[in-house]
Amino acid sequence: MKKIVVLGGGISGYGSAILAKKKGFDVLLSDAGKIAPRYRARLDEWKVPYEEGGHTEERILAAAEVIKSPGIPETAPIVRRIRAAGIPVISEMEFAGRYLGRAKCICITGSNGKTTTTSLIYRIMRDAGLNVALGGNIGESFAWSVATGDYDWYVLELSSFQLDGMYRFRAHVGVLMNITPDHLDRYDHCFQNYVDSKMRIVRNMTSRDFFVYSGDDPVIAEQLPKYDLRMRQLPFMARSAVASAAGDAFLCDGVFTASVGDASVEIDTAKMRIGGLHNAYNAMAAALATLAAGVDPERIRQSICDFAPVEHRLEPAGEKEGVLWINDSKATNVDSVWYALESMKRPVVWIAGGTDKGNDYGPLKEFARRKVHTLVCMGLDNAKLVREFTGVVPEVISADSLDSAMRAARAAARPGDAVLLSPACASFDLFANYENRGELFKKWVAEHL
């Protein structure tokens, strides 16, 4: 019986372990930390052997294959030992993709916009009555859904870390939103390494498949000639003009038309519940992907117009005394904040900061100069933010906790302003993750305002 080890007992790991158990493998799940009670309960239910609080190296190095959870870096000592032993290391996506049967996958990646686009595609497919599951970097574990369900479609948000462990996996509809610097600490601080990771979305795609991508993104435009792209290409654009016989989407004067073959849909973005240029891009990508999947254009139009904002992404948290509080905690990199500031129609009190990932804040300075009157830097080390925006924003305040940051923002805000939590940084200095940061932001607003 083939031995499989799953590294990491989070949402990716427990699903992979259960799928491996169901397929008859000799499986062990190993986590250096604690496994959450809800995941332990499912492992126990399926009688999956697991260990927590450390790795038993002898058992791990006896594996024929290792499924590594995306949060574990290549630099982890146990991963280095596995690599040195010549044991193949794959991702949950690669493993679960072996057992899809006749089901198809719509896979979405990009530095920004992928969660909203993934959620929107899933909503359209579900509204159309299709048998569809949501997974990957959002929703339920992909492997768990494969193990316990029988779906026709999987809509998967893929991070660069998940793409890194994919080799034979194939997206039937691949969506690449954009590529901007992010997670460079995991890629030897080399942007090209990160770019190469994102471009893995096109691996193994055939002439029967569709590739939806931003025709406005300069990095994607530079990369495309390097690849033998046999699939049907569907660019979406607001600034460029990219010719494609298979179809495209183009935004002009607030209205976009998306076309795939003979099917097309026209949408007035003013009628969408999600606003801003970034959401126009998200909607164009979703329209192209679902047209490629065969969804009725009118169903696509209705679902896009009805779609509500994703939690923690430009999510209104409340309004008091003329000040609108906005939770954009998911904006963990510079490009996400660029779109957030671009969409602001009010004067802004901007809360930013956290664990810097090697950010270049230059692209934000023009918007900050024009739209932001106060920047509240929230983190244990605010020196870089303070240095970068002093002289750009009239008032720069340093705060070392959520409460002190929120009180400073409330004191600075005037009627007609927006207080925007859009950090441009990871959350790990003060919070468990970006969701925790956003939830605490909303809780503070609810309790104090």
pLDDT tens by residue, the chain, 449 residues = 799 999 999 889 999 999 999 999 999 999 999 998 889 999 999 999 999 999 999 999 999 999 999 889 899 999 999 999 999 999 999 999 999 999 999 999 998 888 889 999 999 999 999 999 999 988 889 999 999 999 999 999 998 889 999 999 999 999 999 998 776 777 788 889 999 999 999 999 999 999 999 999 999 999 999 998 999 999 999 998 888 899 999 999 999 999 999 999 999 999 998 888 889 999 999 999 999 999 999 999 999 999 987 788 888 898 888 899 999 999 998 888 988 898 888 999 999 999 887 888 998 999 999 999 999 999 988 999 999 999 999 999 999 999 999 999 999 999 999 999 999 998 888 998 999 999 999 999 999 98
Domain boundaries, the chain: 3-90, 96-306, 315-448
Q: Which distant-in-sequence residues (6+ apart) come within 8 Å of 28 by Cβ?
A: 3, 4, 5, 6, 49, 50, 51, 59, 60, 63
How far is Cα 306 from Cα 277, in angstroms, rounded to an integer? 17
Assigned CATH class of 3-90: alpha beta
Treating both helix axes as pointing N-terminal to C-terminal, what angle do 434-448 and 402-412 enclose, rounded to 10 degrees?
A: 50
Report pLDDT for 182: 72
- 140 DSSP 8-state letter: B
Contact 178, 220 (CB under 8 A): yes
Report pLDDT for 231: 96
Report pLDDT for 1: 77
Nearest to 244 by CA among 279, 298, 288: 288
Report pLDDT for 320: 87
Strands (E) located in 70-186: 89-90, 104-109, 132-136, 153-157, 173-176
Please name the residue that has the structure tokens 């779109």.
339
Q: Which CATH superfamily is domain 96-306 in?
A: Mur-like, catalytic domain (3.40.1190.10)
Q: For the domain 315-448, what is the CATH code? A: 3.90.190.20
98 C-beta neighbours (distance < 10 Å), count:
12
Report pLDDT for 356: 86
